[in-house]
């Protein structure tokens, strides 16, 4: 199997392999198969959540792609193809990272030509709408730069809802939404449901109303299909607890009752014995500037036994790490509960996890469930491995690493160090620390995600160089920890800027958190020259002069970040993020873009899913599941739209 599939614009499409799928027993294969079908059924939900026009735009673009009879070799048609591929990649018309609207890349007038020379009967038009009116609306959505400008606006001096063009709120202001949910929370007690997680908030006749995402409710047609496949999956579940939580999840989808989602989450956290596991639901809140609404996602996975041993050692020692961390004792957990950790291989990605994919998962998100029942944390081995295989040969390391030792170290220890960093971040980092009584982490508002990711990363950076890691047999030598520091600062100070357009600031939480850490330690260690920028051959490099002192700086910042979270110190969070995480050094940025351009690489990556085929021949009952990897990007996207396109165009 080739890891690399194709490249367009600033995106490369890779493939992940599903190791030893063929060797699983039939029951596990069928379990994975049914869960994988459920993982694909919610795709349209995410598209509609991202923007109300996304499904319509997709329908129009795909019809053109399939039926256009004009010159398919022209430069304009090629630009149109790239635009469609970018829309597929972003699950909508907005760039998946910056969330700004994607440029079409071809003239508006050419859009009319595309429509004219396509099969008019092939276009689906919303009922009661004239074809010409519909097409001109879609043209305006695509080309009008003042419309649907940005999916998630985080500039806090503006109304975050009115200036964000996601579809989570309709006709509602930020102040109204905040008041609505504050009111619900006020009487909710110590175990509040995640208010607002599974609904669109709309204004009807002057009243705020939640349109709940459930069977027979909003998104009901897709949810019906998810429920169908989950019901089929139950009989193949690994154990009784899995059966129980799948049933809770189905009931939650049927009723929209968030208490059932909490029940499901608690059982899901407790269930550790099974080999196969999955996430399916409204989970992450990054798509909503207020951090309330959950975007739909799914991941189906199974345990990687060897690599899980590594993460298990960490979680068995969770209390030791908590006790020895540099944070204020008041903000440490006296008892770290249920930090489970395992390494998994994904078998299917769906919704907000596809095609751009996380490399680790840490759930559930509800703070009280995490504190009381713990959380599940996983590192995704086959995804990180695909990245590593791709990165070994692309020239990035040679261009941006400052010395031959650094390159050696990265080749020798980079993969292990990266995995350990993710393990520490996910298994221990997010689960560590305690919030002061009466403090709600929502006090940090739009800075919360950045601060929380900063905290988890610092935990990883601080501990990867601890002697305990060598004692536990996880780190072979201090060189591996150095490789992690090298990579982290190289990325945080330089290479991640390849994802930012000239003149733009950093918006995305993880990117902000990486620059926050890297810039802060650089500034804090300036007097002692702990980290420096050096110039060689008219190129800038990052050089770490003292790894132990750098580690101490990571510890100092971890202490402060934990304090900010524990006390809900909004002002301090704001200052740190605005001072270190947002602004870009323009001159350095220009240089890096120039060097990066010469490498002709894509800064973003996404993954194709394998294709599973159910075999029922000759007896009619399922007797095997076959896996293949040869489907190309466009074919997969078109197949998903055809087979899993369950929602009407306007929602
Ligand atoms: Zn994280």
| pLDDT at position 513 | 96
Ligand 1 mean position to 425 CA, how many Å?
6
| 505: DSSP letter | P
Question: Is 70 exceeded by the pLDDT of residue 339?
Answer: no
Residue 314 sits at the vertex; the CA angle it makes with 310 and 315, to the nearest 5 degrees, is: 115
Ligand 1 mean position to 429 CA, how many Å?
8
Percent of the chain residues topping a pLDDT of 90: 85
Ligand 1 mean position to 391 CA, how many Å?
22
Percent of the chain residues topping a pLDDT of 70: 99
For residues 537 and 417, what is the distance between their CA atoms, to the nearest angstrom? 29
Ligand 1 mean position to 565 CA, how many Å?
15
Task: Compute the Cα dihedral for 122, 123, 124, 125 and give only its sign.
Answer: negative
| pLDDT at position 199 | 98
Q: Is 201:175 a contact under the CB 8 Å cutoff?
A: no
Closest CA to 230 of 248, 212, 256: 248
Question: What pLDDT band is residue 305 in, cutting at 50, 70 and 90?
Answer: confident
Closest CA to 113 of 173, 70, 82, 161: 70
Ligand 1 mean position to 229 CA, how many Å?
30
Ligand 1 mean position to 452 CA, how many Å?
7
Q: What are the pLDDT digits (tens) for 545-562?
A: 999 999 999 999 999 999
| pLDDT at position 603 | 82
Question: Is 70 exceeded by the pLDDT of residue 651?
Answer: no
Question: What pLDDT band is residue 340 in, cutting at 50, 70 and 90?
Answer: low
Ligand 1 mean position to 171 CA, how many Å?
32
Question: Is 70 exceeded by the pLDDT of residue 633?
Answer: yes
Ligand 1 mean position to 73 CA, how many Å?
44
Closest CA to 36 of 304, 245, 265, 300: 300
Ligand 1 mean position to 615 CA, how many Å?
39
455-478: average pLDDT: 96
| pLDDT at position 394 | 83
Ligand 1 mean position to 23 CA, how many Å?
32
Question: Is 80 exceeded by the pLDDT of residue 337?
Answer: no
Closest CA to 215 of 227, 203, 205, 207: 227
Q: Is 642:392 a contact under the CB 8 Å cutoff?
A: no
Question: Is 80 exceeded by the pLDDT of residue 306?
Answer: no
Question: Is 90 exceeded by the pLDDT of residue 20?
Answer: no
Q: What are the pLDDT digits (tens) for 97-152?
A: 899 999 999 999 999 999 999 999 999 998 889 999 999 999 999 999 999 999 99
Ligand 1 mean position to 216 CA, how many Å?
34
Ligand 1 mean position to 123 CA, how many Å?
42
For residues 533 and 92, what is the distance between their CA atoms, to the nearest angstrom? 39
Q: Is 233:204 a contact under the CB 8 Å cutoff?
A: no
Question: Is 60 exceeded by the pLDDT of residue 338?
Answer: no
Question: Is 60 exceeded by the pLDDT of residue 18?
Answer: yes
253-258: average pLDDT: 98
Ligand 1 mean position to 378 CA, how many Å?
11
Ligand 1 mean position to 358 CA, how many Å?
10
Question: What pLDDT band is residue 601 in, cutting at 50, 70 and 90?
Answer: confident
Query: What is the side-by-side strand order in the sheet with 375-380?
Result: 276-284, 295-303, 339-351, 375-380, 360-363
Picking from 115-124, 336-345, 379-388, 563-572, which range would have the lowest pLDDT averaged per residue?
336-345
145-168: average pLDDT: 94
Ligand 1 mean position to 527 CA, how many Å?
31
| pLDDT at position 359 | 85
Ligand 1 mean position to 353 CA, how many Å?
14
SS3 track for 105-148: CCCHHHHHHHHHCCCHHHCCCCCCCCHHHHHHHHHHHHHCCCCC
Domain boundaries, the chain: 54-92+102-147, 304-604
Ligand 1 mean position to 430 CA, how many Å?
7
Helix (H) or strand (E) holding 372: helix 367-373
Ligand 1 mean position to 509 CA, how many Å?
10
Residue with token string 């165009």: 649
Question: What pLDDT band is residue 436 in, cutting at 50, 70 and 90?
Answer: very high
Ligand 1 mean position to 356 CA, how many Å?
16
Question: Is 90 exceeded by the pLDDT of residue 389?
Answer: no
- How high does pLDDT run on average in the chain? 94
Picking from 263-277, 334-348, 436-450, 466-480, which range would have the lowest pLDDT averaged per residue?
334-348
Mark out the alpha helices in 375-476 (DSSP H runs). 381-391, 396-400, 404-423, 448-464, 467-471
């Amino acid at each position: 199997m080739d890891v690399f599939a194709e490249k367009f614009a600033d995106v490369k499409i890779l493939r992940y392999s599903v190791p030893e799928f063929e060797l699983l027993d039939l029951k596990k294969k069928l379990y994975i198969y049914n869960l994988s079908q459920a993982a694909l059924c919610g795709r349209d939900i995410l598209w509609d959540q991202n923007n109300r026009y996304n499904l319509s735009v997709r329908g129009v673009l795909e019809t053109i792609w399939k039926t256009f009879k004009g010159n398919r070799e022209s430069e304009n048609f090629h630009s149109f193809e790239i635009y469609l591929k970018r829309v597929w990649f972003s699950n909508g018309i907005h760039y998946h990272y910056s969330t700004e609207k994607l440029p079409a890349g071809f003239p508006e007038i050419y859009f009319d030509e595309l429509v004219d020379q396509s099969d008019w009967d092939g276009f689906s038009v919303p009922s009661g709408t004239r074809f010409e009116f519909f097409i001109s609306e879609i043209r305006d959505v695509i080309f009008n730069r003042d419309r649907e400008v940005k999916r998630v606006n985080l500039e806090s001096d503006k109304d975050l809802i009115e200036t964000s063009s996601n579809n989570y709120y309709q006709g509602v202001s930020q102040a109204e939404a905040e008041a609505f949910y504050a009111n619900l929370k006020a009487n909710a007690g110590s175990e509040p449901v995640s208010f607002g997680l599974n609904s669109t908030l709309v204004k009807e006749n002057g009243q705020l109303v939640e349109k709940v995402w459930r069977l027979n409710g909003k998104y009901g047609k897709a949810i019906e299909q998810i429920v169908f496949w989950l019901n089929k999956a139950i009989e193949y579940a690994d154990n009784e607890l899995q059966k129980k939580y799948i049933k809770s999840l189905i009931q939650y989808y049927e009723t929209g009752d968030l208490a059932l989602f909490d029940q499901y989450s608690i059982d899901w956290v407790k269930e550790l014995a099974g080999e196969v596991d999955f996430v399916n639901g409204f989970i992450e809140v990054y798509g909503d500037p207020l951090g309330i609404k959950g975007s739909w996602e799914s991941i189906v996975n199974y345990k990687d036994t060897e690599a899980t041993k590594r993460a298990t050692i960490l979680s068995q020692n969770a209390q030791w790490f908590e006790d020895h961390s540099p944070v204020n004792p008041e903000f440490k957990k006296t008892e770290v509960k249920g930090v489970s950790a395992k390494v998994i291989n994904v078998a299917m990605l769906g919704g907000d996890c596809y095609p751009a994919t996380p490399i680790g998962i840490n759930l559930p998100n509800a703070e009280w469930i995490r504190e009381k029942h713990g959380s599940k944390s996983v590192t995704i081995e086959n995804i990180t491995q695909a990245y590593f295989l791709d990165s070994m040969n692309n020239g990035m390391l040679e261009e941006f690493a400052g010395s031959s030792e650094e390159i050696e170290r990265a080749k020798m220890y980079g993969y292990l160090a990266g995995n350990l960093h993710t393990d520490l971040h996910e298994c221990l980092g997010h689960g560590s620390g305690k919030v002061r009584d009466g403090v709600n982490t929502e006090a940090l508002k739009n800075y919360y995600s950045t601060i929380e990711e900063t905290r988890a990363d610092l935990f990883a950076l601080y501990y990867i160089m601890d002697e305990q890691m060598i004692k536990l047999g996880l780190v072979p030598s201090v060189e591996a920890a150095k490789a992690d520091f090298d990579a982290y600062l190289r990325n945080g100070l330089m290479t991640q800027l390849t994802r930012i357009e000239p003149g733009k600031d950093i918006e995305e939480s993880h990117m902000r958190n990486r620059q926050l850490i890297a810039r802060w330690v650089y500034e804090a260690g300036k007097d002692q020259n702990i980290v420096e920028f050096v110039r060689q051959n008219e190129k800038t490099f990052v050089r770490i002069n003292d790894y132990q002192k750098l580690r101490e700086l990571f510890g100092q910042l971890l202490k402060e970040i934990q304090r900010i979270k524990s006390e809900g110190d909004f002002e301090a969070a704001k200052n740190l993020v605005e001072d270190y995480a947002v602004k870009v050094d323009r001159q350095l940025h220009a240089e890096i873009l120039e060097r990066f351009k010469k490498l002709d690489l894509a800064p973003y990556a996404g993954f194709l899913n394998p294709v599973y085929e159910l075999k029922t021949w000759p007896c009619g009952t399922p007797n095997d599941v076959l896996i293949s990897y040869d489907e190309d990007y466009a074919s997969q996207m078109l197949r998903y739209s055809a087979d899993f396109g369950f929602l009407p165009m306007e929602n």
